Amino acid sequence: MSLKDTAIRNARPKDKQYKLSDEKGLYLLVKKAGKYFRFDYRYAGKRKTLALGVYPGVKLAEARERRDNARKLLQNDIDPAQHRKETKAMRKDQAVNSFEAIAREWFTKNKHIWTEGHSRTIIRRLELNIFPWLGTRPVAVISAPELWAVLRRIEDRGALETVHRVKQICGQVFRYAIATWRAERDPSADLRDALPPTKPKHMATITDPKKIGELLRAIDGYEGTPVAKCALKLAPLVFVRPGELRHAEWVEIDLDKAEWRIPAEKMKMKNPHIVPLSTQAVEILNEIQPITGEGRYVFPSVRTYSRPMSNNTVLAALRRMGYTKEEMSGHGFRAMASTVLHEQSWPSDIIERQLAHAERNSIKAAYNHAQHLPERRKMMQAWADYLDTLRIGGKIIPLRRARHE
């Protein structure tokens, strides 16, 4: 005789546990702790019991469906209990070896080699663009078409640079999975020609000498905070990356030696970098030292001296001065120096070393932070003097001439 929902609902615990039978091996076990659906069966000559759920979380109809599924497995000579155990283990393995799990493991192992901002960008790109669609998929079974379908979502937004960056990150995750024996191949390699090329991206900058002079005069007349103004004045003299400028610490700067030594962990390429300071740069730092010199950062936040200024400080100042994003950017001071110095025939090796661009030989790069330092000191001072000439609107003297006179 089959069970009824009413009988299950009205069943009360007794001193000893008891059963209410349904049919085909299904029954309800009533205990003081609760009501449990069970399925008794025989496999390989042995009597076994399979738990099917707890009432009322599992209703009678669902318990019967689970029993029928177990009976189908038995018809195919599969032990339902062993099948459940193996399925659970497989799901656990898939969770451990899912794309998201592997990606986060790879990220944790490598984030120390990136700047804080770059680390945030990498994990955010995965969280927004990949994990929602591929995060739970076992890394070993993701195919090229499957990855391409997800990348197409980014492409359809028109974010061509982002889609190439995300594909590159995914490739690094797949190669890490291969190296750690969780995958056999990198499907991103099959998509080499599947994405449209990115458009060349040029940093907004100013390279016309007359307009550089106008910018420098605008900076001199800027009426923002002393910290923001000094950061603006120093930026064209050192042409470091905006993040390196705002994270500058007094302990890194030797005003007597006129030298700023940026540790490797702060640099994009993770190599230490020396910035020779012109007399004009030293003067600016002497100007700000009475204000921030007791703290850690040269350019601290307006809210607390325990943090550096916002990454938007210099950019916002440029906007308040009337320069649009198409005209000038925080990175523009680097592009300005690079363009003009090359035009003035300074040796490319010296310029590139001062810009701290990537050294192809990583071992060589670790020892090259002081390379060409005497020449770089001359170039930095000549550059500062050249900017002074542009600022006052005087006769423009080419840097190479200025250096020899």
Element (DSSP H or E) covering residue 20: strand 18-21
Q: Is 357 assigned a catalytic role?
A: yes
Q: Report the C-alpha gap between 162 and 154 in whole angstroms.
A: 7
Q: Report the C-alpha gap between 168 and 172 in whole angstroms.
A: 6
Backbone φ and ψ of 347, nearest 5°: -60, 135
Catalytic residue among 211, 261, 268, 372: 268
Q: Contact, 225 vs 314, CB < 8 A? A: no
Catalytic residue among 14, 364, 367, 401: 367
Q: Report the C-alpha gap between 354 and 276 in whole angstroms.
A: 9
Catalytic residue among 247, 334, 353, 376: 334
Q: What is the DSSP letter of 189?
A: G
Catalytic residue among 32, 157, 357, 400: 357
**Residue 383 corresponds to which tokens in the numbers above?**
């550059």
Name the H helices within 203-361.
209-220, 226-238, 242-246, 279-292, 313-320, 332-343, 348-354
Q: Is 367 assigned a catalytic role?
A: yes
Q: Report the C-alpha gap between 101 and 36 in whole angstroms.
A: 35
Q: Is 241 assigned a catalytic role?
A: yes
Q: Contact, 333 vs 201, CB < 8 A? A: no
Catalytic residue among 38, 241, 266, 353: 241
Strand ranges (DSSP E) for 32-129? 34-43, 46-55
For CA atoms 250, 255, 257, 258, give the dihedral sign.
positive
Catalytic residue among 71, 175, 217, 331: 331
**Residue 393 corresponds to which tokens in the numbers above?**
């609107």
**End-to-end Cα spacing for the chain:** 110
Q: Is 325 assigned a catalytic role?
A: no
Q: Name the one residue in this structure whose structure tokens are 């599947």.
A: 194
Active site residues: 241, 268, 331, 334, 357, 367
